[in-house]
Structure 1
């Protein structure tokens, strides 16, 4: 039963109305989190860092935040934590509230292992203390082999559920899924969907089949899903639905750079539109198979994280028998098409150019597959082979063909999402936004209509330049000078090619013109 419905039984109010009497009886989000201990998986990832920093900055009285971190490439979990808190999301905390960072405690572990690979001491502590769980750990690559994707995105969920069921004080578990978890649906509603094959059967197949057979049957297992990421995330949702835990499932759409927090434009990975934007701004990507008129459902990461925290609050208050599904999506409230995103991205990338560009950025998007393939041939492959040939002649190491191979593979993976219309219902997110107390609406802002895409895209471009490419803002004046040189060279090359094309046409048609003239003379 929904929170508003519970309250209406007491106060005889409308289902979606939160009057002043109700507000006085609802704890704010920081009040609800006071002294509650939290477990976070995936804290070292893009969204995980924003989640942890937001909990510390906006819920000052929160209890211990346990971060499940595994050893990676020989780096211990404790060392990884120290590296994380030196990054941008924790900068304001380091400067203004360094004492809150002491609330973070690393728990060495791995969601892909039984009991999360916890020591007995750490397991017992989590079971006794934790009230809230955020499960953000995931493999987000589209082309991950099925065995690897299942291990992280499905078995990892099962292992977490097994631990959560033993927690003495568990009040809220939020699983971070994706709005693209059920790609066969024309409209993604905020509810559970059945899977063509159960998660348990898929995990059994992964356990008993070798890699060769598993690779062969993967397309059949995927059914109407485009990749192993979407497939395994849908299986994870199914496990949460059947868990009988007080849970919520958050389904963010395309998570992009921050709007305001930790700083405007903060981004740290090349996933989705970010990779396309950087590749285009550097002159590497000059064509994308994409329907320009379709909406791009993008969510700034700080808005997505605020919604996820608010969902944990709602689950904690309602204690639902079945998980609350919430699409964390823009859903046309502040619409932007792919063509508009290209226009704004190009505008701000030209005004704030990146260093080390390959060529002056041109090109565009098209919904016509064969036109896109022709563009790939002339604007990606032929220039790559030409430049690599010049590299070999001058004794340098060729590189561009290899880069374009990776670009082509990446474009194939994302084009499924750029040529198909997506409709996500987000009534749950709207309702939750209205349920928040006035003070929470300011701190945990979730209104996607509160910003303009023009201003946002400028911050996005500058953020990608600074935080991904590590280019200091002070280098912009020099980059603009170099960029102008590239523009002049590009104009010269295009003009030369235009003249060459006209000359070639003239050579082709001149014999026919001469013949026609000769016929006219003879007839006279």
Structure 2
């Protein structure tokens, strides 16, 4: 079955002749939403907010946006899809979304569905940047939406970890560390240096500026519950696609994906986590489907009741960190990349001492040795600098790997039950029957092909490189053991 030919889909019917204003359309999830919407023959138009770039025309920006493999299926089936796209020059980091009055008037007159999926997901971003993109843009988008006479649904895409200090997270609102008004006032009144100093105190229990500002943005949404047809979708860790637009599609290095790629390259040797805790992974196309399904559900409601959807997977078909490690390892030897820099060897561990020892030996010591070799060859030493940057990134995700989170998702289950069979087929997001082994395999392949740009045809070369790196690895380990032995012997001689 395909979307274009289905006539009994209630969700398809909802989107018939609708105009969508999408924020975050140039991001990983945004591309999937665009691709799916454009395969709905009924959709009238999609306005996509894009940052202006000097020296690039609208046509060049259009080609830049749609020059990704995820759009190939769409281009083949509907070469005229561009007629339903309008790029809106704007910037979520700027006041009023950085859009002109003329553009605002057009959006107000034509938009019937707003999907706010824009966010800066970097954990180490400055609080000012996070506040402007994640909080002020939401405020400005709400103000714009309230002027839209034809608005049927406003979907705000948050994160399942917006209220992570609570660990047991329900589909409800939680008290933020401060109000949106107070945060914006503080950010606007302080210079960068002062703001950086007070940021830890402002965030309190929240581990980073991303989740901190997302929970405050949710508080903005809460205040408009009676004024807008609105819902919040909170996805967990977004991974590659299950099947749409193709299996394994991914173009983002963030989160566990970046860690997994670093593992495949042989760089990361250890991750500190609760091995038996559930890791809440969700496919990007399933996230897209629940966003569109939630818009349909909001549009069907006669009374305005704000619903929150914790989209975190299935309790009956969950995967732990240890199981994820086992599944990744099964695939690692089948699809070795030619871009590997070191021999594969990795383990999730809940032993902090073992993790620190692994990090010291295989990151600090080994990469210092690499820099020494580079210097001897007359080249610039960059290994230690890069591994420090990676270690910092790993430390930023440690909060989420060492803690165990439990989510309620009753609203997600109810939404699924309310969908008819056609919509369940076209807009699937039920993970209770997901084959994790098959899915992780497609994720590994997708990471190799789409992120590392390493086609499957190079697998034989990858195997050869693994063999070479294995020899280098065991030789290096032998040298390290000898050095440690003689160092200990030398120390004992001094002491005794």
TM-score by length of 2: 0.93
Residue 284, structure 1, aligned to residue 259, structure 2:
no
- CA displacement, residues 181-210 of structure 1 (integer Å, 9 cap, x when unaligned): 011113111112222311101101111112
Alpha-carbon deviation of 1:116? 2.6
Q: Match for residue 174 of structure 1?
A: 155
Q: Match for residue 207 of structure 1?
A: 188
Unaligned runs of 5+ in 2: 1-7
Name the larger-Rg structure.
Answer: 1
Residue 374, structure 1, aligned to residue 374, structure 2:
no
Alpha-carbon deviation of 1:101? 3.1
**SS of corresponding position for 1:293:** coil
**Residues 253, 328 of structure 1: 8 Å contact kept:** yes
Provide closer, same or farther for how the CA distance between residues 109 and 500 of structure 1 changes in structure 2, counting only shifts above 3 A. Answer: closer
Residue 110, structure 1, aligned to residue 118, structure 2:
no
Q: Match for residue 260 of structure 1?
A: 243
Provide closer, same or farther for how the CA distance between residues 361 and 74 of structure 1 changes in structure 2, counting only shifts above 3 A. Answer: farther
Task: Quote the Cα distance in structure 1 between the aligned partners of 2:58 and 2:239.
Answer: 27
Q: Match for residue 191 of structure 1?
A: 172
Task: Quote the Cα distance in structure 2 between the aligned partners of 1:504 and 1:227.
Answer: 41
Provide closer, same or farther for how the CA distance between residues 127 and 475 of structure 1 changes in structure 2, counting only shifts above 3 A. Answer: same
- CA displacement, residues 155-205 of structure 1 (integer Å, 9 cap, x when unaligned): 010010110010010110000000010111131111122223111011011
**SS of corresponding position for 1:38:** strand
Residue 37, structure 1, aligned to residue 19, structure 2:
yes
Q: Match for residue 132 of structure 1?
A: 113
Alpha-carbon deviation of 1:481? 1.8
What count of residue pairs does the alignment treat as equivalent? Answer: 484
RMSD (CA atoms) = 2.2
**From 378, 395, 401, the counterpart of 1:418:** 401
- CA displacement, residues 296-324 of structure 1 (integer Å, 9 cap, x when unaligned): 10001001110111001101111553421
Provide closer, same or farther for how the CA distance between residues 80 and 476 of structure 1 changes in structure 2, counting only shifts above 3 A. Answer: same
**SS of corresponding position for 2:333:** helix
Task: Quote the Cα distance in structure 2 between the aligned partners of 1:356 and 1:120.
Answer: 48
**Residues 78, 106 of structure 1: 8 Å contact kept:** no
Unaligned runs of 5+ in 1: 1-25, 511-524
Residue 227, structure 1, aligned to residue 208, structure 2:
yes
Alpha-carbon deviation of 1:108? 1.3
Q: Match for residue 4 of structure 2?
A: none
Q: Match for residue 18 of structure 1?
A: none
Q: How does 1:194-343 map to 2 (within 5 A)?
A: 194-243=175-224, 244-343=227-326
Task: Quote the Cα distance in structure 2 between the aligned partners of 1:449 and 1:233.
Answer: 28
TM-score by length of 1: 0.88
Worse-matched range after superposition: 484-493 or 360-369: 484-493
Q: Match for residue 46 of structure 2?
A: 65
Alpha-carbon deviation of 1:505? 9.1
Task: Quote the Cα distance in structure 1 between the aligned partners of 2:62 and 2:293.
Answer: 25
Provide closer, same or farther for how the CA distance between residues 77 and 138 of structure 1 changes in structure 2, counting only shifts above 3 A. Answer: farther
Residue 153, structure 1, aligned to residue 153, structure 2:
no
**Residues 371, 383 of structure 2: 8 Å contact kept:** yes
Residue 387, structure 1, aligned to residue 357, structure 2:
no
**Residues 110, 150 of structure 2: 8 Å contact kept:** yes
**SS of corresponding position for 1:285:** coil
Task: Quote the Cα distance in structure 1 between the aligned partners of 2:199 and 2:184.
Answer: 13
**Residues 288, 372 of structure 1: 8 Å contact kept:** yes
**From 445, 449, 452, the counterpart of 2:432:** 449
**Residues 195, 234 of structure 1: 8 Å contact kept:** yes
